[in-house]
Amino acid sequence: MTLPRHYLQFKDFSAEEYAYLFRRARWIKNKYKRYEPYHPLFDRTLVMIFEKASTRTRLSFEAGMQQLGGSAIYLNTRDSQLGRGEPVEDSSEVISRMSDLVMIRTFEQSIVERFALHSRVPLINGLTDEFHPCQILADVFTFIEQRGPIEGKTVAWIGDANNMCNTWLQAAEVLNFTVHVSNPPGYEIEPDKAGVRGSAHFKVFADPIDACRGAHLVTTDVWTSMGFEAENEARMKAFADWCVDEDMMAVAAPDAVFMHCLPAHRGEEVTAAVIDGPQSVVWDEAENRLHAQKALMEFLVLGKVEEGDDN
């Protein structure tokens, strides 16, 4: 059996593979917008396993798989054996014999790694405590659509050193751009955990406004990620100055865009004036989860396919 290709963290793919995926996502999106059916995954089955809540990830994978001609099955911990202690390895052996592709949203990254080791089919990380590669795939695709190549550009990350932050750090290394990071004291990035030790593609700033200076993209995320709810009260205090506001956007590049993976908390990590303002591209960003992940699923199941000439 040939070993399947997995997508567990951003650095699993090369810059050249991302360039292909972004071209492919654009082609698939254009076709979708023209209401032209495209069913390369006819008769294929995606299993989606959720151990945490989701709106966008579930919707984009389930709708995306249907639009590609296949079907998607939803499993959660509440009403499957996954929540009753069946080992991840055993679950992987069984689930991957009945499907063509698996997506998991869970807690520790080690869970997806263990699942991958026993999976006969490609596995996609739909968010772990450490990484959210599908979101950054869509975010970079969105930046390219809005502003052109991301290579050489600067992204300002304001807030928690969470799964999104770690994934941006990896993306900067793979795609050759820079991340300006500003986290509150006590919540700083851990380059080892993010898998970017020694990277020259990020700079740390104590003051969030300094991180935003000259940035082409300003982005943030919730102060308290799923699984960290017990820390909420302490985080509310620690993060109070890490709210992306109009002053921060004013020092960014004049044509800077604002992104947020959503769901957002207006008045916490971002003001309503910014997320609902003219520089925000959050709705296109959310929609692009669909198109980018359709390209990802096609690539993982079929490999590179002949590119259409109607881009």
Q: Which residues are catalytic?
A: 105, 132, 135, 221, 261, 289
Distance between CA 55 and CA 90 in Å, rounded?
A: 28
Residue 221 binds which entry of ligand NVA, ligand CP, none, CB below 5-8 Å type-dependent: ligand NVA
**Residues 175, 151: contact at Cβ < 8 Å?**
yes
Distance between CA 240 and CA 221 in Å, rounded?
A: 13
Site for ligand CP in 222-241 (CB under 6 A): none
**Residues 224, 232: contact at Cβ < 8 Å?**
yes
Residue 285 binds which entry of ligand CP, ligand NVA, none, CB below 5-8 Å type-dependent: none
Distance between CA 110 and CA 294 in Å, rounded?
A: 25
* Residue in 56, 153, 216, 291 binding ligand CP, rule: CB under 6 A: 56
* Residue in 57, 142, 182, 293 binding ligand CP, rule: CB under 6 A: 57
* Residue in 14, 55, 81, 110 binding ligand CP, rule: CB under 6 A: 55
Site for ligand NVA in 204-223 (CB under 6 A): 221-222
**Beta partners for 75?**
49
Total site size for ligand CP, rule CB under 6 A: 8
**Residues 135, 165: contact at Cβ < 8 Å?**
no
Rg (CA), the chain: 19
Element (H, E) at 297: helix 282-302
**Residues 74, 55: contact at Cβ < 8 Å?**
no
**Cβ-closest position to ligand NVA:** 225
Distance between CA 64 and CA 69 in Å, rounded?
A: 9
Residue 183 binds which entry of ligand NVA, ligand CP, none, CB below 5-8 Å type-dependent: none
Q: How far is the CB of 127 from ligand CP (least distance, A)?
A: 6
Report the sign of the C-alpha dihedral through residues 268, 216, 182, 19, in that order: positive
Report the sign of the C-alpha dihedral through residues 63, 64, 69, 70, in that order: negative
Q: Does 162 engage in binding with ligand NVA (CB under 6 A)?
A: yes
Q: How far is the CB of 76 from ligand NVA (least distance, A)?
A: 16
Q: Does 264 engage in binding with ligand CP (CB under 6 A)?
A: no
* Residue in 99, 163, 170, 220 binding ligand NVA, rule: CB under 6 A: 163
Q: Does 181 engage in binding with ligand NVA (CB under 6 A)?
A: no
Residue 55 binds which entry of ligand NVA, ligand CP, none, CB below 5-8 Å type-dependent: ligand CP
Residue 232 binds which entry of ligand NVA, ligand CP, none, CB below 5-8 Å type-dependent: none
Going edge to edge, which strands form the sheet with 71-76? 71-76, 45-50, 101-105, 123-125
Site string for ligand NVA, 96-135 (x = CB under 6 A): -------------------------------x--------
Total site size for ligand NVA, rule CB under 6 A: 9
Number of separate helices (H) and strands (E) present in the chain: 12, 9
Nearer to ligand NVA, 41 or 112 (CB): 112
Nearer to ligand CP, 27 or 141 (CB): 141
Going edge to edge, which strands form the sheet with 178-182? 202-204, 178-182, 154-158, 217-220, 257-260
**Residues 211, 159: contact at Cβ < 8 Å?**
no
Go through the chain and tell me how many residues it has.
311
Residue 81 binds which entry of ligand NVA, ligand CP, none, CB below 5-8 Å type-dependent: none
What are the residues binding ligand NVA (CB under 6 A)? 127, 162-164, 221-222, 225-226, 261
What are the residues binding ligand CP (CB under 6 A)? 54-57, 127, 135, 261-262
